[in-house]
Amino acid sequence: MNHKVLLLLGLAMCYTLSGMAQADGKFSEGLVKYTVLSANDMTVSATWAENAPEDVVVIPATVEHNGQTYSVTSVDLSNDIPVYQLVVSEGITAIEGVKKEEYPYLKRLELPGSLREIPYGKFRNFTGLEEVSLGEGMESLDNNCFMGCRLRRLSIPASIRKIGASLCYIGRMEEINVHPDNPYYYSQNNTLIDKEHQSVVLGNRDLFIPDNVTSIGSGAYMMFDKTDYLREKEAPRDLIIPNNITWVNIGSFTIDSIGTLRIPNTTMLDLGWIDFGAVKEIVIEDGDTPFYYTPLMASEGCFRFYDVNAKTDIETIYIGRNKQGSGNMFGTSNNLTVHKLVIGPKVTVFVDNMHTIKAIYSLSENPEQVTIGFNSNFYNRRILSQYLCRDAALRSCRHQGTLYGC
């Protein structure tokens, strides 16, 4: 075999070995690891390659490797290696992978406008994430996209036109910035507001509710993960729903402990949930506007309270408006104890599924005409301790269809 043939074979072998190495589809440059998506199109996905606690890891839009230029089209999040600051460059158009387990490392994240949107729950388990900056050109944030994150700072560009519900927890939120040219959203006292619907999208950790809004979006005031029973509890705070609010959406408030929850007499609250732990008193002010408490998705809407602790004690509940609909106000009430239920002067019928009520008071001028009822389908119910009235015994107290002399 002559030398020319040997040379050709050697070159062919080198090319084959090089091709095999490239066919492996993975290579690293600096702090970034790449996976070839298409050798023909010269596209790769990228993720961080190593623990770099002192460095900002920048995912570039293009990368040079072995004399060839690849376009980075996506970033893969399914990586357990710690990264603390991540910048995704303009030109990258997709985010792939999800975190199945809690990821506490990433603190700061910059995302380009070329992504256009952040899909549902994409950064849901990045529990250490504190600061997020979104690039101009991004248009949509889907529901729960930062759920579980304890954000402190969030920057929203002028191009954002849609923000989904339950964006993140606000227990640590310090700053929400919206570009002044955004036609759809604005920030007021670090509260994110939908301009068209005058609705709170993301609330203030001080429970500030602007007086120029009329509704509160789903998950707008979520202070914490209610399944985290080992978290450090915050001190009780008062929650006063202002008169301008006519709609409170699902899961709007999740608060450890409430001193007083007050719902004004001018407000009809539909389809709203409040998750709470310990609470001192709940006051539904006297008024002519009905208080709806129908089951979820019923035509009238509903307003329900959910206890987030294993055991919840309420000192006083004052119901000053007639309740309309069916179902019960307290959705998770197996361990709920109400020490005193006060029925306002305009309430003539009270039906609910509260678990334990120690005393009931009626402020009606004719308490004998007030009917107290508890639905017979409520399971594991405890016996009520006593019925009390302002002036006389409550003679028409009905319990599961049975007349009781109270």
Tell me: the pLDDT tens digits for 179-195?
999 999 999 999 999 99
Cα separation, 238 vs 44, whole angstroms: 52
**Sequence letter at residue 397:** C
* Encoded amino acid at 359, one letter: A
What was the pLDDT predicted at 313? 80
Query: What whole-number distance in Å separates Cα of residue 131 and Cα of residue 114?
Result: 19
Do residues 69 and 62 make contact, with C-beta atoms less than 8 angstroms apart? yes
Percent share of the chain, pLDDT over 90: 42
- pLDDT band for 343, please (50, 70, 90 cuts): confident
| Helix (H/G/I), strand (E/B), else coil: 9 | helix
Tell me the mean pLDDT in the region 271-294.
Answer: 76
pLDDT of 345 reads 82
Place of tokens 């809407």: 301
370-398: burial string, b at 16+ Cβ within 10 Å, e else: bebebeeeeeebeebeebbbeeeebebbe
The 10s digit of each residue's pLDDT in 40-88 is 999 999 999 987 667 899 999 999 999 999 999 999 999 989 999 999 9
Q: What is the distance between the alpha carbons of residues 261 and 257, in angstroms, rounded to a whole number?
A: 10
- For 53-73, the DSSP string reads TTS-EEE-SEEEETTEEEEEE
- Please answer whether residues 245 and 267 qualify as being in contact, where contact means their C-beta atoms are separated by less than 8 angstroms: yes
* Average pLDDT, integer, range 319-339: 70
Q: Are 153 and 174 in contact (CB under 8 A)?
A: yes
Mean pLDDT is lowest, of 147-151, 155-159, 342-346, for: 342-346
Give the residue-averaged pLDDT of 261-274: 73
Q: In what order do the strands lie in the sheet with 215-216?
A: 185-188, 191-194, 199-202, 215-216, 247-248
Mean pLDDT over 259-273 rounds to 75
The predicted model gives 370-399 an average pLDDT of 44
With cut-offs at 50, 70 and 90, classify the pLDDT of residue 304: low
Q: What is the arithmetic mean of pLDDT over 124-146?
A: 95
Give the distance from CA 42 to its chain's centroid: 39
What pLDDT score was predicted for residue 35? 96
Q: What is the pLDDT of residue 257?
A: 79
The 8-class DSSP code of residue 165 comes to S
Cα 388 from Cα 382, distance rounded (Å): 18
pLDDT at 310: 60
Residue 3 CA to residue 19 CA, distance in Å, equals 24
The whole-angstrom separation of Cα 106 and Cα 257 is 30
- Given this model, what pLDDT does residue 377 score? 41
At residue 403, the pLDDT reads 29
d(CA 189, CA 170): 13
pLDDT at residue 39 in the model: 92
Confidence of residue 10 (pLDDT cuts 50, 70, 90): very low
* pLDDT tens by residue, 153-171: 999 999 999 999 999 999 8
* Length in residues, the chain: 406
pLDDT at 13 over 80: no
Question: Is-contact 175 202, C-beta < 8 A?
Answer: no
- Span 122-145, average pLDDT: 95
Q: How high does pLDDT run on average in the chain?
A: 79
pLDDT of residue 226: 67
Per-residue pLDDT band for 21 (boundaries 50, 70, 90) equals very low
Higher pLDDT, 382 or 172: 172
Q: Check whether 287 has a pLDDT greater than 90.
A: no
Model confidence pLDDT, tens digit, residues 222-254: 988 766 766 777 778 899 989 888 888 877 888
Q: Assess whether pLDDT exceeds 80 at residue 101.
A: yes
